[in-house]
A = this chain, B = another copy of it.
Amino acid sequence: MTEPAPLRRDAERNRQLLLRTAYELMASAGLDVPYEDIARAAGTGMGTMYRRFPHRQDLLDALFSEHIDTVIDFAEQASRYDDAWAGLTWFLEQQLEIEAQSRGLGELLRSRNQATALVQRAHERMTPLVAGLIARAVRAGQLPAGVTPVDFAAAHVMVGSVMDASRAFAPQLWRRALTIALAGLRHAELPGDPPDETVIDRLYNDQKK
């Protein structure tokens, strides 16, 4: 396996600077900030930007892989809860809490388009854990039969949408939405056929404008 080849000291400094700047801009403006804005804010040229991060994907991976690992970790911790429902609520709340810190991270975790391989893999790791928790919660009578992992993912998307829409003027409103979604999962009699589990990936992967 070929090694990364270490950067020259000044180059590494610039790289870090770009990462910090990009993180900040994306926290408030989302994943789509123009490369040019990042470069200008960091005080470098765009040449540097493209040399380090030829594709936006590269930038996103470098920026967020750590956070993604944290979320996977949450799922693992949650799956060890004795009380399955408590595990589920704790997990969803932690995940959203993180998303609340950064609009960009939220967009990534609920892939408003840019679905990275990174996020894809994260979902592959987490989905079975969540499915297990749901099954346990149903068995324990904490959730009605018929609730599926898709519904849990839907709850995530739902709360996230309120967060995105209200971040600027009501930064706590998503907590109400979360409460609604969780109470809904516990009390809903869900209509229609239980959706196929593969729907989850697509739910997290809409590619629109």
Q: Which residues of A contact B (CB under 8 A)?
A: 30, 32, 150-151, 154-155, 157-162, 164-166, 168-170, 172-173, 175-177, 179-192, 195, 199, 202-203, 206, 208-209
Contact = CB atoms under 8 A, between A and B. Distances in A.
A188 B180 contact: yes
Contact of A208 (B30, B176, B195): B30
Given A166-B202, A166-B203, A203-B165, A179 B191 contact: yes
A20 B15 CA distance: 51
Given A158-B158, A182-B184, 11 more contacts: A32-B209, A160-B161, A162-B203, A166-B199, A166-B202, A170-B199, A170-B202, A176-B195, A179-B191, A180-B190, A183-B189
- Number of copies of this protein chain within its complex: 2
7 contacts: A32-B209, A154-B180, A157-B161, A157-B162, A157-B165, A181-B181, A182-B188
A8 to B, nearest CB: 35
A173 B151 CA distance: 9
A30 B209 CA distance: 9
B180 A181 contact: yes
B203 A175 contact: no
Contact of A187 (B184, B190, B202): B184
Contacts of A159: 158
Contact of A162 (B30, B154, B187): B154
A165 B30 contact: no
Nearest to A203: B165
Contacts of A158: 158-159, 161-162, 177, 180-181
A156 to B, nearest CB: 10
